[in-house]
Structure 1
């Protein structure tokens, strides 16, 4: 199934059947973008490429708009095409005029179009997926599963998780991440170091200063993790034992002969138990 078909399928799930529409050539000056457009930035180079395509072939797919009062229209989907038409000085643009669309439905369609058709930066795509899930909840009262979101967008559940994981980064790390325009592989590397704030800060600084690719960042994160001491239940046991042993050595000179004999016996039993445990652990599964 093509990306466009997937987008149409998803949009049909969000938009109500009572919505009416018509196609019309609208003056560009009467069309405005939405103020809460999910996409925050646009790639000027790609807008330019689209503009040249439109100059040669025209607008192949109408934008979608809704009336916004006083003869004006608000873009639901197709802001890139609108920008490209403005860039080459066109006077009108073909548009599907959709009546009776709720704000939440407008948001849903814009999100789907952006996720499917735009090269959003990783953070924007993460926000769009999050907002799409919230839109589904607002429209139907049911929470969308990650599997369902992935199926709708042509992404695996793992990819959806990776995108959403970006939003779980510490705020100051996330700010650097956004400013550096990094991708989801960079985010995956940072998430691998979850809970290790100093290492996350070090990694994102290395990414910026050394220009690490996403794959390189993952490899560096793996190396960072290999250098982190691993604490286990045995570590805690040894730590407690060290304290007890130090206390024993301190108290030893003041013990009676009978107490010293008892301590030696108990230490001998402890030694046997440790050795037996080591022998058990060496046995094949």
Structure 2
């Protein structure tokens, strides 16, 4: 005969004797000291971690005081943890010869982790154009994947609903157009994007060049090298136009890059050897420049007086 008694689920022993305060405390995030060797970089992390002067200063600080702000990481299915925020602190800890660093471990999906990773780095003052470009692109894709999640909807930025690109722009303090232009830079081949980071190519010409096909961009590198020139905005716009019309060739690129720019036509350059002949040896370049300006001003005044006679 079957028993008519219903199954009763008993609470775990620990729960029976735990307080509400202790149960809430168990839910709070804990800061853990995790070995540096168990922390792996975020996949496709767009921000460069360099051993520059700023990094050496950070390493000195970590050596003296430790890492003051915990990093954020998530469990890595293949073992250890994937860093979400704190890549520079991790490197500084390595340079300071630390074995562990404080980390907050969170269970995050790819999109949530990407947004935290981007936002934590966009606060830095000096970001390279390539870093900003790939960061905006990654965050935009993550927000699109998340769709209408409540923590990413209009309540975060006001009552009016926003598209994904508008949300990225407003949170970054940029115009929507500027964010779109940065994202467009990710279409440049690495060699051209490096030149943008190195300020050899300005942002506006770089945006126009991003519309060239990849093979055309590689040919452009050849033309730039042979003519020892980088494209101005007007030249980049013409290159884009010819590309879209299907008429852009390597020879045409070389012709365009070989043009004398207006800025070059407006510029007069004297070598120091030429000027030294007219000044005492004790004159510094700055003093020579000041003297030349005074002479030109005096000549201009004399010319004006002669014309008034």
Query: What TM-score does the superposition give when structure 2 sets the normalisation length?
Result: 0.52
2:203 match: 187
Q: SS at 1:49's partner residue?
A: helix
Instruction: Tell me if the contact between 1:136 and 1:144 (Cα under 8 Å) persists in the aligned partners.
Output: no
CA drift of 1:117 comes to: 2.8
CA displacement 1:58-106 (0-9 Å, x = unmatched) = 31211012233687322121111011101110122111122x3212222
Q: SS at 1:128's partner residue?
A: helix
Instruction: Tell me if the contact between 1:22 and 1:97 (Cα under 8 Å) persists in the aligned partners.
Output: yes
Residue pairs, 1:3-42, within 5 angstroms: 21-34=29-42, 36-39=43-46, 41-42=48-49
Instruction: Tell me if the contact between 2:187 and 2:210 (Cα under 8 Å) persists in the aligned partners.
Output: no
Q: By percentage of residues, which structure has more helix? A: 1
CA displacement 1:148-205 (0-9 Å, x = unmatched) = 2121112232321320231355xxxx33313435368723123346778889938982
CA drift of 1:209 comes to: 4.3
Matched, 1:104 2:111: yes
Instruction: Tell me if the contact between 2:205 and 2:237 (Cα under 8 Å) persists in the aligned partners.
Output: no
CA–CA distance in structure 1, aligned partners of residues 128 and 114 of structure 2:
19
1:52 match: 60
Of 193, 199, 209, 1:178 maps to: 193
Q: SS at 1:135's partner residue?
A: helix
Instruction: Tell me if the contact between 1:63 and 1:96 (Cα under 8 Å) persists in the aligned partners.
Output: yes
Residue pairs, 1:269-280, within 5 angstroms: none
CA–CA distance in structure 2, aligned partners of residues 76 and 139 of structure 1:
18
1:116 match: 123
CA drift of 1:224 comes to: 7.3
Of 80, 100, 109, 1:92 maps to: 100
Instruction: Tell me if the contact between 1:203 and 1:221 (Cα under 8 Å) persists in the aligned partners.
Output: no
Residue pairs, 1:252-263, within 5 angstroms: none
Structure 1: segments with no counterpart, 5+ residues: 1-18, 230-285
CA displacement 1:191-222 (0-9 Å, x = unmatched) = 3467788899389828x946x7xxxx6xx324
CA gap 1:90/1:167 in 2 versus in 1, 3 angstroms: closer
Which has the bigger relative contact order, CA under 8 A and spacing at least 6?
Answer: 1
Structure 2: segments with no counterpart, 5+ residues: 1-26, 150-161, 242-309
RMSD over aligned Cα atoms: 4.0
